[in-house]
Amino acid sequence: MSSAGADVPYAGTDFYCDVAIPHPDCLDVVHEDEHVLAFHHTRPFWAIHIVVVPKRHIASLTTVSDEDEADVRELFGVVQAVARDVELEHGAAAVLTNLGAYQDSKHLHVHVHSGGRRG
């Protein structure tokens, strides 16, 4: 994710810690609790595109350690609920996370999407 919104460029490396988590009021939030934030992507790639992030910084899926277990359990519980809702409403859902060079924002995040790619 490379933008704080359609009109505000973001050039940092952790959009979630820098923008999304401290300012959920600027987002179209789907779910928020003490540990997890889920919101409609600010620059969606698919027709339906929701991002789910742990509020505590975890760099990526491949850096998860024993101390992250509770946060990752909470994260995937929300991913499951969001994916279920998207599947029920739209007939299909996909879940993915990016790693390494594919991961623009260096904070574990999971995409839940459905529908075709946006122009």
Is 31 a residue of the active site? no
Instruction: State the SS3 of 80-109.
Output: HHHHHHHHHHHCCCEEECCCHHHCCCCCCC
**β-bridge pairing 110-117 and 94-96:** antiparallel
pLDDT in tens, 5-25: 445 567 788 999 999 999 999
Selected catalytic residue, list 41, 107, 109, 113: 109
Give pTM, 2 decimals.
Answer: 0.90
* Closest C-alpha among 52, 66, 67 to residue 107: 52
pLDDT in tens, 65-114: 999 999 999 999 999 999 999 999 999 999 999 999 999 899 999 999 99
Helices (H), 5-104: 15, 69-90
Q: Is 59 in contact with 68 (CB distance < 8 Å)?
A: no
